[in-house]
Every structure is written in C-alpha cells, then in structure tokens.
Amino acid sequence: MKRILVLCTGNSARSQMAEGYLQTFAGNRAEVLSAGVAPHGVNPLSIQVMAEDGIDISHHTSNHVDEYIAIPFDYVITVCDNAREQCPLFPSSAEKIHHSFPDPGIASPDDHPNIDALSSFRQVRDLIKAYSLSFIDSHIGEPILK
C-alpha cells in the first residue's frame, strides 16, 4: 500500500479536497492524509462542494504537518506555493510533487464581487478532481470510480 501526504498552507480546502478524491480513487491501494503548515480548520464550503460530488469529508480534521514527520510516505504532494516553499523542511525520502491550485477562499464578495465563494470552491474542486484522477492512474493504478 502506498502512502500519500497532501500539503497546503491551512489544510482547510485544497488539501482536504485532494485527500478526499485521492483516497476515493485509490481505494485500499493507498493511505492518504493531508496536513498544513499553518492549519486552521476544515472550511465548511470544502465539505459542501465535496458532498455535492458524493465525497464525504465532514469527518476530516485539519492537521499540522509535524504530526506526520515519522510516517514514511511514498508521495508528498504540495497543492499551493507556500507549502511547496516549506516542503523541503519535511524530512522524508518521499517523491515530492507540486501542483498548485488556486485558493478558493480568495473569492469573497467584498474582494471579488463578480465571483461568489461557492462557485470558486466548485471550480477548484473540479481542478483537483481531474488532477487526482490523473495522479492515481499514473502512480497507483486505474482509479476506482463511483
């Protein structure tokens, strides 16, 4: 079984969605965890948009990367530039892979009146889903589809 760690800054949105999709598509062929360099709780909109696609991440917790230092991962995937910059501090022989996704949390009505937050989360979710399918296919085997 492969072990995959998904890292992002807050472990609230992108890494949570990636954890949900990667685990779903890998099934029992991988253990997928996610963490942040400055975790601040799972965003309720992440839970909502994943549920819309049939993935329940409501039980996920927001964890600090230090909690996983002793686990021998096969892959560490950074999904934002800030986590990538801090990833070399993660002492692991895992293959490090970077794929930056937009921060869905930046689309607040105050800052971006033409983009609502829910639409932003859905767009990023769809990008992460496509990437997760491709990652599992190329690194683990044929994805398990619901």
Q: CA separation (Å) from 24 to 29, 69, 118, 132?
A: 10, 24, 22, 10
Catalytic residues: 8, 80, 87
CB under 8 Å to 144, separation ≥6 — which residues? 24, 25, 26, 27
**For a pLDDT cut of 90, what percent of the chain falls above it?**
68
User: How do residues 55-104 score in pLDDT, each as one tens digit?
Assistant: 999 999 999 998 998 899 999 999 987 655 655 455 678 898 999 999 88
User: How do residues 100-119 score in pLDDT, each as one tens digit?
Assistant: 999 887 655 555 555 688 99
- In the chain, the domains with their CATH numbers are 2-139 (3.40.50.2300)
Total-model pTM? 0.89
Judged against a pLDDT cut of 80, whether residue 43 lies above it is answered with: yes
